Amino acid sequence: MDPEFAGRRVEYTGDGLSESQLRPTPAEQFRAWYADAAEAGGESNAMVLATAGEEGPSARIVLLKGFDAEGFCFYTNYGSAKAADIATDDRVALVFPWHHLQRQVRVSGRAVKAPAERSDAYFASRDRFSRLTAWASQQSRPAEGRAQLDAQLAQVESRFGAGDVPRPEFWGGYIVQPREIEFWAGRLGRFHDRLVFRRRGEAPASLEDAAGWEVLRRQP
């Protein structure tokens, strides 16, 4: 055992999360905690996305770009490694690691492509350079060096000039429709609180409707 790592420990001092504090719906609870995380600073919309494809499990950090009654939305290149994983197995997991609040939110569910009009609207809201780089990047594929990336970007800049940069068909959103959402709050001695909204049926349920969810507590 390496003492450099074994000895690192941060004691949790939070008040945890009780059933009486839990909001009636998953959407209300997530928005409340998200607001706390945003107010505390940092990149509160950063989330770990875990997928499983033909080569096994994989995880990376992506940014939450939308949240509503249907689920959690992020955007990517549809030719990326994560998109290939989702095409193989659409079951995914998310983690919001809000360490500074001694909280995390864990989500498991299925990823479905966002409607084209939703992806169009978000893409149009991005700054011009980000729209150009979305065209230029062949995400997840090998690159011979930075010069290759710069050359690809130069080609895209030349193609569009000063004109509009529309959304490429190979780029768009996914919505993670949750099967369950766990709200984890750190407690003294690692005796944490874990309260879970679990979907009652197999079909996707509105995150705004309490009737579609049951609440359970998991042991830490």
Q: Are 58 and 82 in contact (CB under 8 A)?
A: yes
Question: Is 35 in a helix, a strand, or coil?
Answer: helix
Angle (CA) 188-189-194 rounded to 5° is 70
39 vs 184: CA distance, rounded Å: 19
Residues annotated within the binding site for substrate are 9-12, 65, 122, 126, 130, 190-192
Residues annotated within the binding site are 9-12, 60-65, 75-76, 82, 104, 122, 126, 130, 139-140, 184, 190-192, 194
Active-site annotation holder among 141, 159, 190, 218 = 190
Angle (CA) 33-181-72 rounded to 5° is 75
208 vs 68: CA distance, rounded Å: 8
What single-letter DSSP state applies at residue 137? -
Mark whether 198 is an active-site residue: no
Q: Are 13 and 191 in contact (CB under 8 A)?
A: no
- Name the amino acid, one letter, at 66: G
Total Cβ atoms within 10 A of residue 2: 6
Q: In this structure, what are the phi and psi dihedrals at residue 143, rounded to the nearest 5 degrees?
A: -125, 140
Give me the helix-helix angle, 146-160 and 128-136, nearest 10°.
Answer: 120
Q: What is the 3-state secondary structure (H, E, C) of 166-190?
A: CCCCCEEEEEEEEEEEEEEECCHHH
Catalytic residue ranges? 190
